[in-house]
Structure 1
Amino acid sequence: MLGPEGFSRLKNKAGETLLLQDEVSEKFKHLNLGEHSIPPELWEVEPWMANWVRERYRWEEGIYHRLAYEEFMEWARRVWEALLQTRKVIKEKPGPEETISTEWLSYGGIPPGFLVRPDLLLRTPFFNHPTTIVWLHLDFWKAEFDWAQGLHFKDGMPLSYWAIGMGERLASCLTEEERENFPRSYAITPKSFTYLPYRKDTVTGLRLFELPRSFSVDPAEWFPAARNLIRDFLDEMLPCWSKYPLVLSLSPGVSGIGSQQSPWGFSGFLGEVWLSSQNHRLGHPINYYGYDGPEGLENVLVRTLSREAFVRLMSGLYLRGPRGMLCDAVGKNCSPPKKTPLLHSIRKLTFEGKMFRDFAAPFDDGIPPPRALLTALPAPIYKETTLEELNLWENPDNLPREYRELLESEAGIDFKTGRVPSYEEVPRLKWLFDPTIEWLKPKDFPEMDWSRGQVWPLDLTREKMEIMVEEGYDGSGKDLLHYSCLADRKLGQYGKTILLGTMPYKLPEE
């Protein structure tokens, strides 16, 4: 759906990779996914979306638009709940033993795809100055923005929220009750959800929603034009915020929807944020996710750290448990199943152990624990590269021998020279996982409440989970350190330094 000029720009920049993606798509025709070929980003970042499409729905445009609407509503509720939870923390001042529990965790991070301790968010803010951030959701079917939402930060905390629009197709899904009771911090923001998307830029005459079609789906092409339009909007509707720095962020279509249903918040979702914003390392011609504007803490960390180091550091900053324990959380949905049935069905499928079915080796059945995701090798890798440039692992030499052998045989990696071959040389379509780390099974978890999620140690193994559950841990975060240490004692690892990913990690003691 790109316009002639936009298509020409994309073809010049991404021509060779587009041909490779067409070749990859051909290999998946047998999956019978619907009237359109499956977008490659479905398996390049999150294979469970491909499995969800295959198992539950044919991949059709109408399904996508319903998903985009549900994501808009879920995103709004996540941000609103995080804003209220932050205010509650400031008022009640709970201790760290309390805020590591699911009662307190909220989606206060940027973007709202991983559960954080709200008290830690105040100590290490994403922005240390007043900032407005606006997320723009890109519909890859039509090369249009289909929704946008904004959030103001002040003194490190989310201060006010406003939904600034969605396209007519998505707006038609809103009930009258949703239109009237939609959460927003300012009554002055337009009640018409289609007001901003159809606003025209005074210079180009283009409307906000059609910018990607005219400029190309590459955010680097349309960020400046979008910034002008949103600045005009702020000047008109929210002048109290118009003088502050403005950060724009791309929420990438199907990938944005699927990533927020990743079972794990840090090793899963934030690992995908790293992949989506650093996918040039894998040979992708454009970023699926990114920011434009003054850099926040997360931007700097994503760009400078390896994937596993980024995940570990973010866990320590925003979901740190007692005695410095690194944790991960099974995400929750803030919207009930009745309101967002498709999103809940994605999360249900991942929890059934089908998220990597046919898209991973040597395991594809079950749920990879966080430590398995820390060192997983995604697929495909389009360009020849090196281990150093790929930057997935902090210390590749520390990968287990069995895993190195798998990476050599299945991905063609040469650990002596550091060379990583391209897809043309090694046409690999499956993610590779450490064969020494057993995957979790759905029955291993305590009873799951999807409105709350669960909290677990980042060093979780299947054996450790089994012991913690047998001893009475319910996933809520209550007495997390006690149950973790109890399991470590039974495993003969209490207080020891282990390899978590490829980096040393001292297990916390009571």
Structure 2
Amino acid sequence: MEEIGLEEKFEIEKVKWEKTLEEMGLDKIWKKMVAITPFPGKTPMFAEVWFVMPFTRNFFREVGINPELWQRLKYENFVEWSYRVDRAVETSDRCMKEKIPKEEIYWTKNLCYLSHPPAYLCRPDVGKSSCVALYGKYATCEYVHVDDFTREVYWVNGYHNEDGIPVHRWTVGADENISKYFDAEDDVAFTQSTAEHTAPASRKELDERLDRRHLRTGIKIRDAPKKHWDPYDWGMAVRDVITDLRIESFPKWVHATLYMSCVSMISSTIAQSVLTSSEFFIYVYYGLNTTALGINYNLFSYVPLPPMIRVLIGLPQETFVKRMSQLFLGGYDAFHRYTCKEKKIPNLFKLKRYTFEHGQFFPHYKGIPPPMVIARAIPPSLQKINLKQFLETPPSKEFWEILESEARANRETGEIPPADETGRMYFLLDPSIEPLKAKDFPPMDFNEGQIWPFDITREKVEIMVEEGYDGSGRNIEYYSELANKKMGKK
């Protein structure tokens, strides 16, 4: 039997996807959603994400998204990811040299994005050990980002890790729509090479690197997603080219496994701008376990997929979120911070403030869901799903009422019909626990973040604040236990 060519395979997958959108009527809906797209008339890949994520529906409408703002957001997304890891290395180095007192272990100044991807705060020692568990002792990890509308790779940047610590940043390439926004700091970081990082020698070369071709297929790095439908497949194609580049530039790294972490702009920005760790972890769960959303392709991919991830995504969503929170933050939940200052990433700050004031799932859920509520959120799905995939404990009485009335959940089987049968394109969250409000917390600095117990409620936050807790993480265990005693919890 003759093997199907790349273009033919891509077209088959594209037609299948378009048919799914058409059968559900989503193609007609998308044409009307001109207020949330920078390119009216163009359908982005992963359009399903745009339908269900309040981030796109609300914030893009609020700021008046347009082509120029879309390009600017791509730049802000790039620099924030990159400087996060640079700062994480500095924080790790400091914390390993200093003896951190017990009461300051979870101080936000001692937490960093030594995570993979650098999207959730963790303790440096935990980040180090988890990197080894995830990737092995030696690993090179490059992040591959793709524009949702053009399907072009627009930046590839990453790090070589030794013993769980990033020791060298390697900027492979970034297109001209990114570099045109560079300031002096960025030019030093991404067009100059030092002992700590390697980059092309100019903005022009930075862009041209994305034109490096696959030796066998002749496909450019930037064009790989135009020839391969699924992020895992474009990750494989890009990995072949990056492997050749690594042999040329870093022969001493050939012993290390090369990982590609592949994602689209919209998914990346959602992950980067989450309010809290618990929120990020449910998106990781969906990105690598897309059956939860009724989608038959990956929204995010690791190439190759680390065995540890394969095990974790087999857990129910609630269990996954709790275990990740326990692993990386000792059972606490962090309000994530930005590394770059507002002057460099003004639009990301606008997004964070909007979400903090309204909540992540506004308008269907008004306020900020406590971590335990987020862990048990039920997403909309394009196919039939079962509550067993999401919950480790039964729904509360109030939650059951919503699940039955709005999702038509079956109490006996736990099954929930697909969105085209219910019309539900939004998340459902347990109403038995009151949403948190921005005003409940001490003043929020989005360059610092805050950290709170996983079991917070409005009552517990109020008590902790009254007793003097400032959200910084210092003495968090003391204030949490004090609040529990006042609430009568054992």
Both proteins in one fold, TM over 0.5: yes
SS in structure 1 opposite 2:273?
Answer: coil
- % identical aligned pairs: 34
Please tell me whether residue 36 in structure 1 is matched to residue 34 in structure 2: no
> 1:245–1:293: 8 Å Cα contact kept in structure 2?
no
Aligned to 1:224: 236
Letter in 2 for 1:306: P
> 1:14–1:285: 8 Å Cα contact kept in structure 2?
no
Please tell me whether residue 417 in structure 1 is matched to residue 417 in structure 2: no
Letter in 2 for 1:141: F
Please tell me whether residue 356 in structure 1 is matched to residue 357 in structure 2: no
Residues 426-484 of structure 1 show CA distances to partners (whole Å, capped at 9, x for unaligned) of 12022111111111111111011111100000111111111111111100011111111
Letter in 1 for 2:271: S
Report the count of equivalent residues.
474
Q: CA deviation at 1:24?
A: 6.8
In 2, Cα distance between equivalents of 1:206 and 1:27: 31
In 2, Cα distance between equivalents of 1:283 and 1:339: 37
Aligned to 2:377: 376
Please tell me whether residue 336 in structure 1 is matched to residue 364 in structure 2: no
Letter in 1 for 2:387: L
Q: CA deviation at 1:153?
A: 1.8
From 49, 54, 61, the counterpart of 2:61:
54
Distance 1:294 1:129, change over 3 A: farther
> 2:145–2:156: 8 Å Cα contact kept in structure 1?
yes
Please tell me whether residue 442 in structure 1 is matched to residue 435 in structure 2: no
Q: CA deviation at 1:81?
A: 0.8
Please tell me whether residue 180 in structure 1 is matched to residue 188 in structure 2: yes
> 1:6–1:213: 8 Å Cα contact kept in structure 2?
no
> RMSD between aligned alpha carbons?
2.3
Structure 1 residue runs without a partner (length 5+)? 321-325, 496-510
| 1:340-489 mapped onto 2 (5 Å cutoff) | 340-358=345-363, 360=364, 364-379=365-380, 381-388=381-388, 391-395=389-393, 398-489=394-485
In 2, Cα distance between equivalents of 1:21 and 1:243: 48
Aligned to 2:323: 313
Aligned to 2:123: 117
SS in structure 2 opposite 1:193?
Answer: helix
> 1:283–1:383: 8 Å Cα contact kept in structure 2?
yes
Could you state the TM-score of these two structures normalised by the residue count of structure 1?
0.87
Q: CA deviation at 1:31?
A: 7.1
Letter in 2 for 1:414: N
> 1:164–1:193: 8 Å Cα contact kept in structure 2?
yes
In 2, Cα distance between equivalents of 1:21 and 1:220: 26
Distance 1:263 1:403, change over 3 A: same
Letter in 1 for 2:244: D
Residues 408-442 of structure 1 show CA distances to partners (whole Å, capped at 9, x for unaligned) of 11101112023221122212022111111111111
Distance 1:312 1:211, change over 3 A: same
Aligned to 1:234: 246
Letter in 1 for 2:290: N
Residues 280-312 of structure 1 show CA distances to partners (whole Å, capped at 9, x for unaligned) of 232112111121115153x13442211111111
Distance 1:367 1:24, change over 3 A: farther
> 1:438–1:461: 8 Å Cα contact kept in structure 2?
yes
> 1:79–1:108: 8 Å Cα contact kept in structure 2?
yes
Q: CA deviation at 1:12?
A: 4.8
| 1:78-157 mapped onto 2 (5 Å cutoff) | 78-125=84-131, 126-157=134-165
Aligned to 1:190: 200
Between stretches 243-252 and 465-474, larger displacement belongs to 243-252
Aligned to 1:503: none
Distance 1:188 1:51, change over 3 A: closer
Aligned to 1:205: 218
Q: CA deviation at 1:162?
A: 2.0
Q: CA deviation at 1:96?
A: 4.2
In 1, Cα distance between equivalents of 2:250 and 2:71: 29
Aligned to 2:3: none
Q: CA deviation at 1:86?
A: 1.8
Q: CA deviation at 1:101?
A: 0.5
Aligned to 2:302: 291
Distance 1:61 1:5, change over 3 A: farther
Letter in 2 for 1:33: I
Distance 1:30 1:79, change over 3 A: closer
Could you state the TM-score of these two structures normalised by the residue count of structure 2?
0.91
Between stretches 331-340 and 118-127, larger displacement belongs to 118-127
In 2, Cα distance between equivalents of 1:12 and 1:273: 27
Higher helix share: 2
Q: CA deviation at 1:242?
A: 2.5
Q: CA deviation at 1:157?
A: 2.4
